[in-house]
Amino acid sequence: MTTATLTPDEVIARIGPWQGRAVRWETLGGGITNANYLVTVEGDDGPEAGRYVLRIPGEGTDAFIDRTRELRNHAAAAATGVTPPLLFQIEPGPCTVVPFIDGETMHPSSIAGHPDRLDKIVDAMRTYHAGARFENEIRFFEMLRDYQAMAHDADAPRPAEFDLLERASDEIEAAMSRREPAPVAAHCDLLSENFILDRDGKMWIIDWEYAGQTDPCFDLGDFCVEHPFTVAEKEAMIRRYCGELDERLYYRMLLYEIVCDLWWAVWAMIQSRISKLDFDFYVYGADRARRACVNAANPDYRRWLDGV
């Protein structure tokens, strides 16, 4: 577990190239795990001048995240060009600094209904899926069971929907195991705020805390469940990703929507016990559990299971 938390001023004081320059910072919103800051290094001369994002890990996040592994996975993703490079790593934490991307942070409504942006995102996913290699393998259902054990040990709240969803998860795991795709380098946390469209039209992906080698449909399903996509948009994603509407991968994506929501719901219940951030994790997780139940009640659910 993280034993100490630095302030932004303490981190800035430890970054050698910034010493002797005017540096100011302000809080950036949007995160529910870490504290993020926009840092401006003043001046017109030298490579150090400019704007950066400083991230200080949230208290208790080491229960979920291997930070050393995260940094190596981030570097592998950055080598494919889909994410900014890590510039500084400051202990304890590690606190990290990356270049600031001058652009529009995405939201569900700025991706859904925008086919050009959806295409950019799917293309970026294909790029790091094919071009990066992460050092850890994620076995999703084993990870979910680990989270469930953590929730039990933390005496975390347990919404009533969890009973139904855990039965569905067992069914989905059995179906998924029949013909598993080769694992790829996956982000595993593709909520809209982790995409930034820069002024030149490039779509960047940030925050690689939960990344690992796993089923590519995990990323596709986790991304889908974060956005109000139509059936046509989901089918278009698979066509863009595969070059055709591969029904098996399409069904896997839809099933991952259900279990990804369960995963994040369990995560939220643990966070409701350990996080110090001012955020209602219980409501966040309970909403996800209800949405997962709606998806599991889809009339085509059994067809999805049979088709993967």
Q: Tell me: the pLDDT tens digits for 220-244?
A: 999 999 999 999 999 999 999 999 9
Pick the CATH number of 105-307 from 1.10.1740.10, 3.90.1200.10, 3.40.50.620, 3.40.50.300: 3.90.1200.10
DSSP notation for 97-148: EEEPP-EEEP-HHHHTT-HHHHHHHHHHHHHHHHH---S-B--HHHHHHHHH
> Comparing 8-100 with 105-307, is the CATH topology the same?
no
Distance (Å, rounded) from C-alpha 291 to C-alpha 293? 5
Q: Which of 3-7, 54-58, 154-158, 178-182 has the lowest mean pLDDT?
A: 3-7
The model carries a pTM of 0.90
pLDDT band at 93 (very low <50, low <70, confident <90, very high): confident
Mean pLDDT of 6-26: 94
Ranges of each domain in the chain: 8-100, 105-307
pLDDT band at 278 (very low <50, low <70, confident <90, very high): confident
Second-level CATH architecture of 8-100? 2-Layer Sandwich (3.30)
Q: At residue 2, does pLDDT exceed 50?
A: no
